[in-house]
């Protein structure tokens, strides 16, 4: 079988790193994007190469159109082909709605929504030319149901669902699928500010009685990129342990 190439944004840590491990472990060539966590990204690339994986690092800030375009051009130069884009890079912020500054609001949209838009726009000419390609975006349960003290984050994650559905309709005739993964509470740095009591309360609220692992999300992303998901597009898959049904 022809080796496929996946570009994963924000793959230096957390869910993105778990996705990189999942794809590399299954023989995909992995283009691993990071922004600030160079050491972590290099350590991950080294780990995957030692296990026999084909991995290249691409530094780019999702807030910068030039850097995103350059990253996609470099991935195509290096691997000649791109099959899957995982728009995972994201930031979160917990604050009262009335405390959100214009800058806070813009920062969250710039990384989460505009970054996803920039990546999709940069890879699509290649996907359309090939009449093939898979795009997987990352939303959140808060983008579906709304999270108190996370209004800006929830709004960005709801926007990503809208982007996913509309883009799926537009590029479906070109043989491209666009789907979204909307995780529940996952044990990563993003939830580092939660206290042990907060996490325990969330665990008890979850029918499956545990906090999610990055691997739970990576499995969904991997499935949406697989042959078996070929007739799925514009869908939202939510690995959340039942906290949102």
Catalytic residues: 153
Q: How far is the CB of 43 from ligand NAP (least distance, A)?
A: 12
CB 3 within 8 A of CB 53: no
10 lies in the binding site for ligand NAP (CB under 6 A)? yes
Contacts (CB under 6 A) with ligand NAP, residues 89-148: 89-92, 111, 138, 140
CA 151, CA 25: separation in Å to the nearest integer? 37
37 lies in the binding site for ligand NAP (CB under 6 A)? yes
82 lies in the binding site for ligand NAP (CB under 6 A)? no
The H-assigned helical ranges of the chain are 14-25, 38-50, 65-79, 102-108, 115-130, 141-145, 151-171, 196-205, 214-225
CA 154, CA 97: separation in Å to the nearest integer? 11
For the sheet containing 54-59, what is the strand order? 54-59, 29-34, 5-8, 84-87, 133-138, 176-181, 236-237
Q: How far is the CB of 63 from ligand NAP (least distance, A)?
A: 5
58 lies in the binding site for ligand NAP (CB under 6 A)? no
Among the residue ranges 83-91, 98-106, 170-178, 199-207, the one whose residues contact ligand NAP (CB under 6 A): 83-91
Q: How far is the CB of 91 from ligand NAP (least distance, A)?
A: 5
Which region, left, alpha or beta, applies to residue 174 given φ > 0 means left and ψ of -120 to 50 means alpha? alpha
Contacts (CB under 6 A) with ligand NAP, residues 173-192: 183, 185-186, 188-191
The two three-digit tokens of residue 53, written as one number = 């994986």
Q: Compare residues 13 and 21 and give the one whose CB is closer to ligand NAP.
A: 13
220 lies in the binding site for ligand NAP (CB under 6 A)? no
Nearest to 57, CA basis, from 79, 83, 31 = 31
Contact residues toward ligand NAP (CB under 6 A) are 9-10, 12-16, 34-37, 61-63, 88-92, 111, 138, 140, 183, 185-186, 188-191
């Amino acid at each position: 079988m022809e080796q496929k190439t996946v570009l994963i944004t924000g793959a230096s840590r957390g869910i993105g790193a778990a996705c990189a491990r999942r794809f590399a472990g299954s023989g995909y060539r992995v283009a691993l994007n990071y922004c600030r966590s160079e050491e972590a990204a290099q350590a991950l690339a080294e780990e995957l190469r030692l296990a026999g994986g084909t991995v290249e690092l691409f530094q780019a800030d999702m807030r910068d159109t030039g850097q995103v375009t350059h990253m996609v051009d470099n991935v195509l130069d290096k691997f000649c082909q791109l099959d899957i884009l995982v728009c995972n890079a994201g930031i979160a912020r917990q604050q009262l709605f009335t405390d959100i500054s214009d800058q806070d609001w813009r920062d969250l949209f710039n990384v989460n929504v505009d970054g996803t838009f920039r990546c999709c726009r940069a890879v699509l000419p290649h996907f359309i030319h090939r009449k093939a390609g898979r795009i997987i975006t990352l939303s959140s349960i808060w983008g579906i149901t709304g999270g108190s003290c996370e209004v800006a984050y929830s709004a960005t994650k709801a926007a990503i669902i809208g982007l996913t559905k509309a883009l799926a309709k537009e590029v479906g005739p070109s043989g491209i699928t666009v789907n979204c993964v909307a995780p529940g509470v996952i044990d990563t740095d993003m939830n580092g500010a939660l206290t042990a009591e907060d996490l325990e309360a969330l665990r008890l609220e979850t029918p499956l009685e545990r906090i999610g692992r990055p691997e739970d999300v990576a499995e969904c992303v991997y499935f949406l990129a697989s042959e078996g998901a070929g007739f799925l597009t514009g869908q939202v898959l939510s690995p959340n342990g039942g906290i949102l049904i």
